[in-house]
Amino acid sequence: MAFTHVMVGATDPAKGKAFYDATLGALGWPAGHEFRPGVIFYSHDGAAFGVGKPADGEAATHANGGTIGFAAQTKEQVDAFHAAGLANGGTCAGEPGKRPGAPGNAYGAYLRDPTGNKICTFCQLPADA
């Protein structure tokens, strides 16, 4: 495993928790837990993801050009992830659908969380789908 965890900043950790509980929950992740005040962590299948106030006390910002991708098992999970994100303060950064430029027969969706961090999820569809 190359990474121990991925962390993104949040301007409002409570909104971040609601957003990620919903989107990651659609992929089978359990709800996040407070690691320290204002910082929420998620763990699933050996992966860890955090969202919260930056440790340096400066404003949270999103990475221009950065995207964090989460694995989905099915097309239905991708669709549920996207719908959950929109219902919990996120904005669409790419509708669910096939991604012809991606490897294999990829199906994915993109969102921006309430702070503006860009995330996505993908699964591989059967070759005949």
Write down the pLDDT at residue 127. Answer: 86
**pTM here?**
0.91
3-class SS of residue 69: strand
Q: Which residue has the tokens 């221009």?
A: 64
Write down the pLDDT at residue 100. Answer: 86
Write down the pLDDT at residue 63. Answer: 87
Measure Cα distances from 57 to 37, 46, 89, 119 in Å.
13, 29, 23, 24
What is d(CA 48, CA 69) in angstroms, rounded to the nearest whole number?
13
Write down the pLDDT at residue 85. Answer: 98
Measure Cα distances from 31 to 11, 22, 45, 50, 93 in Å.
19, 8, 14, 12, 23
Ranges of residues in the chain whose predicted pLDDT is under 50: none
